[in-house]
Amino acid sequence: MKVLIVDDEVIIRNGLSTVINWEDSGFTVLEPAASAEEALLRIPTERPEIIFTDIQMTGKSGLDMAHEVKREYPDTEMIIISGYDEFAYAQQALREGVSDYLLKTSRPNEIIGAALRAKERLEQRRQVGEQGRANETALNRSFLRKMIASTSTPSEQTVTELWNRYPSLRVIKGKQLLQVWLLSTQAGDREESGNSEALYGALGDMLTGLLPCEWLQWNESVLLLVRVDVDNNGWDTVEWAIQKAGQALCCEIFAACGRSIVDAYQLREAVDTAVEAHAYSWLLSHEQIVRYDKLGERKGLRVVCTLEEEITLSSLLRSGNMDELQMEIGNIVERIKYDSQATPGSVQAYLNSLLIAGHRWLERAASSIGYSNLLSNGEEVDKVELARRPEQTLMHHFEVMMKQYDLMVSGTSPVQRALAYIHDHLDQSLSLSQVAKHVHMNPNYFSEVFKRETGQNYIEFVTQAKLRKAMSLLSETPAKISEVANQIGYEDIKHFNRLFKKFTGQTPSEYRGKS
């Protein structure tokens, strides 16, 4: 805490500054001032918290100086140290806001005691002031949060209150605009910080010091309401401030700006468009700063995986090869990310269709071996994590499916394992010898056991399994009939049609038309 001593007697001012051990009590003594005029010139720059001054000096008196200091810097502690022990002086000193009156004959411990009492008063006032400012900030942010969360157009009274609480945001129409930004950091930055709330608080406070803005923590991001000049001569101060804050906090920031508005009545539009732009945080993470107005007319990608993709996925899940599955998912995610038509909604729908395809494969596998235990639907998909970390989220759920498949197959009989193998390879021409070899059995013995456990001979079972899959493909997919035939291992379309009609009583076309 800084102390300034003011006295026109050199012996007094030097003695007070050197004889007393100020440092041990936590004080820093500035260069003493020889007059009130000198002190008044230095105070704006040096900003002493405590001033010791004589009363009678050449030029302005210490009381005149105290009057001016308390008017400009009311929190400064003024202490008179005078050679005059007169009640009138003490009364006038109190009127000028002086907090203590000492005589020059006072001992060093009395002078330090007065300084310590002044220091305590200053700290108490600061604590009260900080608490008051914190309470005011909390009330203002609560008001702003309710205003932003409201889906209705704010009333004139609400807008007036906004300007009263945040005068720095008031815009001059034609010259200034309001913008809403949503800022978030990379997941790794949050994990390393150990406290995303503290990181976002530091980010918001830093930006408040760089811009005419206010901020809120908003759904795992920072919502920034900022005033910008219409004519910025190509210099975007918001982008500059965000980059500067990211560098200072050693983190990568993704920033999304909503549509600029001319007054607070359009605040809902600015928030909604900022949320929409921020939804691109994964798709456009390489750009770091995204503006709603520059997103263009994206149509979205297809929202359902193709039959071929589902077959490839099923094969990888069945194989249990995590590395190949990881590579395939990585390729899919990379392709999506650089699709110029991709939108967050269509990406999430498409990724979810991959998970649904995985669950369908698992259910078919369970059905094919007569798995009696109730299959779990697995963990519920966290949509936020699927949007933020699609590759990791997909792999997590697929790994769970693979483990469940291994659990099912490991506790089954050879015939049940054969049934699973048959259903997984219906697109091939499956010979009895091939399947018997897969389950390590003699073909003749396998044929006998297979009929005993299933009630059907091998050829009859395989044919019906293929035709049931064809029925499913015809009713659930738009695949051509020739494509359906190929998917169950029949290249001769006429042969397929005959078998299908014999089994269902309808041609494939008739069946599709009625399903």
Domains, the chain: 2-124 (3.40.50.2300), 175-294 (3.30.70.270), 307-514 (1.10.10.60)
Residues contacting 466, CB < 8 A, separation 6+ = 426, 488, 489, 490
Q: Is the pLDDT of residue 514 over 90?
A: no
Residue type, 247: Q
Going by pLDDT thresholds of 50, 70 and 90, the confidence category of residue 371 is: low
And the tokens for 34? 């020889």
Give buried/exposed letters for 235-258 (b at 16+ CB in 10 A, else e).
Answer: eeebeebbeebbeebebebbbbbb
pTM of the model: 0.62
Q: Is the pLDDT of residue 412 over 90?
A: no
Helix axes 414-424, 307-319, angle to 10 degrees: 150
**Distance from C-alpha of 120 to C-alpha of 75, rounded to nearest angstrom:** 12
Which of 183-187, 303-307, 408-412, 454-458 has the lowest average pLDDT? 408-412
Helix axes 156-165, 108-149, angle to 10 degrees: 150
Q: Is the pLDDT of residue 62 over 70?
A: yes
C-alpha to C-alpha distances, 392 to 41, 325, 397, nearest whole angstrom: 64, 12, 9
Going by pLDDT thresholds of 50, 70 and 90, the confidence category of residue 193 is: very low
Q: Is the pLDDT of residue 344 over 90?
A: yes
Strands 176-185 and 213-217: unpaired
Going by pLDDT thresholds of 50, 70 and 90, the confidence category of residue 247 is: very high
pLDDT at 190: 46
8 A C-beta contact, residue 325 and residue 317 = yes
Residues contacting 150, CB < 8 A, separation 6+ = 268
Backbone angle region of 163, left / alpha / beta, with phi > 0 → left and psi within -120 to 50 → alpha: alpha
**Distance from C-alpha of 176 to C-alpha of 15, rounded to nearest angstrom:** 57
Q: Is the pLDDT of residue 100 over 70?
A: yes
pLDDT at 49: 94
pLDDT at 327: 94
* Of 233 and 452, the one with more pLDDT: 452
C-alpha to C-alpha distances, 173 to 140, 164, 472, 491, 500, nearest whole angstrom: 24, 17, 63, 72, 73
pLDDT at 188: 46
pLDDT at 411: 65
8 A C-beta contact, residue 362 and residue 404 = yes
Of 81, 83, 67, residue with least CA distance to 32 = 81
pLDDT at 207: 93
Calculate mean pLDDT across residues 354-375. 77
Calculate mean pLDDT across residues 92-105. 84
pLDDT at 87: 66
**Distance from C-alpha of 142 to C-alpha of 154, rounded to nearest angstrom:** 15
